[in-house]
Structure 1
Amino acid sequence: MSDSRVNLGKQHPAAYKALIALSAEVEEAAVTAGLDPLLVELLRMRTSQINGCAFCLRMHTRDALKKGENPDRIAVLPAWEETGCFSETDRAALRLTEAVTRVPDGHVPDTEYDAAAAVLTADQISAVAWPATVMNAFNRVAITSPYPVGG
């Protein structure tokens, strides 16, 4: 990565702090809606995997492990559909998160939304879409800025 890149968070710290505050509000809303905090970390990780954001992926993997997430679930997250490691709620949330993250592929298809709505409440749908939205913003900040990821 070029050393000449601008660190967006340092260049406009108030905007970055607002994004952090939004993330905290979104996490609180997710828990209030009945989503497991471990699931919220998995959603952040899945978004970061899709976006290729190594910095956020490393950070949220560490956060998930600290919160007690099973390393096996983290290991199979890219292939979650092929495993029995995830509950019906987890699957609905992951499916919707992927659809929100992949909007350039055709927005959020009705089939994906309807599948999530068959399992999740309206509060939970919102509580899944918001972390995906915020994580996509963080990913774009990190992949645009010089956020090095070492060994």
Structure 2
Amino acid sequence: MAVRTLLNTAVPTAYQTLITLSEQAEKAALDAGVDPLSIELVRIRASQLNGCGFCLRMHVRDALAKGESTDRIAVIPAWRETAYFSPAERAALAIAEEITNISSTAASADDGDALTVAQAAALRWVAIAINGFNRVAISSHYAVKP
């Protein structure tokens, strides 16, 4: 694999801005009453769709540390076909897919009654931030070693 510039160290102020964005999005989600596991579900689903091994490993570990089950993590790619997720979690997963696949979904996630406007907006910011991190990690070729 070709060596790439690590974007986090090449332009550290921009990377710090992305970290700050992620922290503010998470705080907004928590302040709006979003369950911490729903935030991790958004991060995991976006990272799955983007194929970001670095972020997947990090956020699966974070979710497990927060009490997430391996069964639920295992079925995230097929969440629509399971009964594992609450209506609010399903809305969060739909938002992750909407933001990550924005060119094909055209902002089609239906928030329904499962989320407040503040919760949906904050989760979209969480999805925007993790998509940024995915792109940094993938384009920088972050190592993912066992």
Structure 2: how far apart are the matches of 1:96 and 1:41? 13
1:148 aligns with 2:143: yes
1:106 CA displacement: 4.4
Tell me the equivalent position of 2:130. 135
Matches within 5 A, 1:51-130: 51-109=50-108, 112=109, 115-130=110-125
Kindly indicate whether the alpha-carbon contact (under 8 Å) linking 2:55 and 2:137 is maintained by their aligned counterparts in 1. Answer: yes
Q: Which residue of 1 aligns with 2:20?
A: 21
1:96 to partner: Cα distance = 1.7
CA deviation map 1:23-64 (0-9, x unaligned): 111111101111100110111000000001010011100111
Q: Which residue of 2 aligns with 1:2?
A: 2
Q: Is the 8 A contact 1:117 1:125 kept in 2?
A: no
User: Would you say the 8 A contact 1:96–1:129 is kept in 2?
Assistant: yes
Contact 1:23–1:134, Cα closer than 8 Å, also in 2: yes
Q: Kindly, what percent of the aligned residue pairs are identical? A: 51
- Structure 2 residue runs of 5 or longer lacking an equivalent are none
Matched AA of 2:92: A
Where does the alignment leave 5 or more consecutive residues of structure 1 unmatched?
Answer: none
Q: Report SS of the residue matched to 1:116.
A: coil
Alpha-carbon deviation of 1:107? 2.0
User: How high is the TM-score relative to the length of structure 1?
Assistant: 0.92
Distance, in Å, in 2 between the alignment partners of 1:106 and 1:95 is 10
Count, aligned residues: 146
Shift in CA distance, 72/27, structure 1 to aligned 2, threshold 3 Å = same
Match of 1:35 in 2: 34
Contact in 2 for aligned 1:41/1:64 (Cα 8 Å):
yes
Alpha carbons 2:41, 2:92 under 8 Å: kept = no
RMSD (Å), alpha carbons: 1.1
Structure 1 residue ranges (4+ consecutive) displaced by more than 6 angstroms after TM superposition: none
Task: Tell whether the 8 Å contact from 1:43 to 1:97 is kept in structure 2 after alignment.
Answer: yes
